[in-house]
Structure 1
Amino acid sequence: MDLKGKVALVTGGNGGLGQRICHALAREGAHIGVMYAQSREQAEGVAREIASQYQVNAAAFGCDITDKAAVERLVADVRARFGALDILINDAAYNKSIPFPDLDNLTEEVWDKIMAVNLTGPMRLTKAVAPVMKAQGSGRIVNIASVAGLGPTGSSIAYAVSKAGLIHLTKCMAVALAPETLVNCVAPGLLEGTRATANLRPEQVTLSASSSLLKKAADKDDCADMVVTMCRTETMTGQTVVIDSGRTFH
């Protein structure tokens, strides 16, 4: 799919990886909706920078993706602002560092919040954009999971399970939305300079980098470039690509 003139909605677009994804898509000529949960000023700054640098349209949209009505309003607002919605990037996520053996602190409240943001939110957004993309005759959805979804690793059991669910949701939605809409997934390893990494214990960060074949963190721009590839593809759907400097093989 030629991305020039297409409209992309990036959830968590003001985050460390989200900003790179917004820039990568705008560089290809896509108009960008930068969705944020709380940081309105930062998201608006990202939108202004993108519009100025790439001469595309960009705007910030606030949304609580755990709220079904808010998600439906978001999709309507993006379409009203840009006239279409061709691409959805599910990048918004939440984590809390809880060692796996510490089951006492893995409360139902923590579990519910992580699942609501990391798994139910993308499902809700996908359902909201699906009829729009079907009516347009084409669409692309890219989910941002984690290598924690491929093995018992990560900041907590809840986070790992939520990302495993997102990877499988990718496969299931690829089946459900074919042939008009292609659904794929990027599973990054450790990324420096993100909110998710900031919530990790220091020893987790050190171990993740040192135990990789390349002895370094994954690159946010590599992840953003893979998102662009998944938006441009005409023949890949239901797939998850790992970018983690060589720690996980699946």
Structure 2
Amino acid sequence: MDLTGKVALVTGGNGGLGQRICHALARHGVHVAVVYARSREQAEGVAAELAAQHGIEAAAFACDLEDGAAAEVAVAAVLERFGRLDILVNDAAFNIAIPFADLDTLTVELWEKMMAINLTGPFRLIKAAAPHLKVHGEGRVVNISSVAGLGPSGSSVAYAVSKAGLIHLTRCMAVALAPKVLVNCVAPGLLEGTRATANLPADLVARSAAGAVLGKAADKDDCADMVVAMCRTTTMTGQTVVIDSGRVFH
């Protein structure tokens, strides 16, 4: 599918992976709504860079995924600015390292924060965006999960469960929104240069990279290119693709 002139809403668009996704889409002629939670100046800088480098329209929009009303407000703002919405990329996430056995540190408050941002937030955005994604019959949703969602691993129990939920939400929404909207998922392994990785202990990062058969972290551009492929496809839906330099085989 030709993406020229489509409009994408990318949550976490000012983050390490989010910026790569925004640029990958913009290179294919997609206008981009760079959605941020708190870093307004950074998001506006990303939008300006996208417009200057790729000749597309881009703008920054606020959306705090812990706020139950924020998803509908953000979608409405994007529609007012661009007049349409074709692609939703749920990239924003919250991550904090807590050993699985340390259930005392994994408070209910932290659990609820991770669920709100990593799982409930994407659900709210999909619900808010769905009627608009269906308008032209070529809507796309791409969720960014993690290999932590495929097995009992990762930075914490809450993070792993939230990402597992996002993978299954992808499958369920693929059924719910077919045939006008295709829903797929990218599950990266360790990514260097992201805020999520910056929150992890150095020894955990080193072990994750060394544990891959390729002996290195996953590539952010590979993940971004897969997002584009999932937006261009016309026959793939409900699928999760792992990009992790060979750590998890599913």
- Which category of TM-score, normalised to the shorter sequence, fits these structures? over 0.9
- Partners of 1:39 and 1:197 in 2: how far apart? 18
Name the structure 2 match of 1:52.
Answer: 52
* Secondary structure class of the residue paired with 2:24: helix
For 1:190, the equivalent position in structure 2 comes to: 190
* Residues in 2 aligned to 1:2 and 1:135: alpha-carbon distance in whole angstroms: 17
Which aligned pairs between 1:88-237 and structure 2 lie closer than 5 A? Answer: 88-237=88-237
- Structure-2 residue corresponding to 1:17: 17
Shift of the alpha carbon at 1:68?
A: 2.8
Summarize deviations over 1:57-85 as a string: whole Å, max 9, x none. 00000111222322111101101101100
The aligned counterpart of 2:74 is 74
Structure 1 spans left out of the alignment, 5+ residues: none
Tell me which amino acid in the other structure corresponds to 1:174.
A
DSSP-derived class of the 2:111 partner: helix
In 2: Cα distance, 1:68 partner to 1:59 partner: 22
- Greater mean alpha carbon deviation, residues 128-137 or residues 226-235: 128-137
Show the counterpart of 1:43.
43
Question: How many residues matched?
Answer: 250
Alignment of 1:24-35 (within 5 A): 24-35=24-35
Letter in 1 for 2:138: S
Cα distance in 2 for residues equivalent to 1:132 and 1:31: 16
Distance 1:213 1:153 in 2: 17
Deviation per residue, 1:166-215 (Å, 9 max, x gap): 00000000000000000000000000000110111111101111111100
SS at match of 1:9: strand
Letter in 1 for 2:127: K
Deviation string for 1:19-74 (max 9, x for gaps)? Answer: 00000000000000000000000000000000000000000001112223221111
- Give 1:248's aligned residue: 248
Any idea what SS the aligned residue of 2:141 has?
A: strand
Q: Partners of 1:137 and 1:219 in 2: how far apart? A: 32
Q: Work out whether 1:6 is the aligned partner of 2:6.
A: yes
**What is the TM-score with the length of structure 1 in the denominator?**
0.99
Q: For the residues of structure 2 that align with 1:77 and 1:230, how far apart are their CA atoms?
A: 25
One-letter amino acid of the structure 2 residue matched with residue 132 of structure 1:
H
- Three-state SS of the structure 2 residue aligned to 1:184 is strand
SS at match of 1:128: helix
- Displacement of 1:102 in angstroms is 0.6
Cα separation, 2, equivalents of 1:86 and 1:233: 13
Letter of the aligned partner of 2:62 in structure 1?
Answer: G
* Percent of aligned positions that are identical: 74
1:76-125 CA deviation, whole Å, 9 max, x = no partner?
11011011000000000001110111110010000000000000000000
SS at match of 1:247: coil
Tell me, what secondary structure is at the counterpart of 1:101? coil
SS across alignment from 2:69: helix
Alignment TM-score, normalising by the size of structure 2: 0.99
Secondary structure, in 3 states, of the residue corresponding to 2:106?
coil
Question: In 2, Cα distance between the equivalents of 1:156 and 1:68?
Answer: 24
In structure 2, the gaps of 5 or more residues are none
SS, match of residue 183 in structure 2? strand
Q: Could you list the structure 1 runs, at least 4 aligned residues long, displaced by more than 6 angstroms after superposition.
A: none
The one-letter code sitting in structure 1 at the alignment partner of 2:26 is A
CA distance in 2, matches of 1:133, 1:199: 34
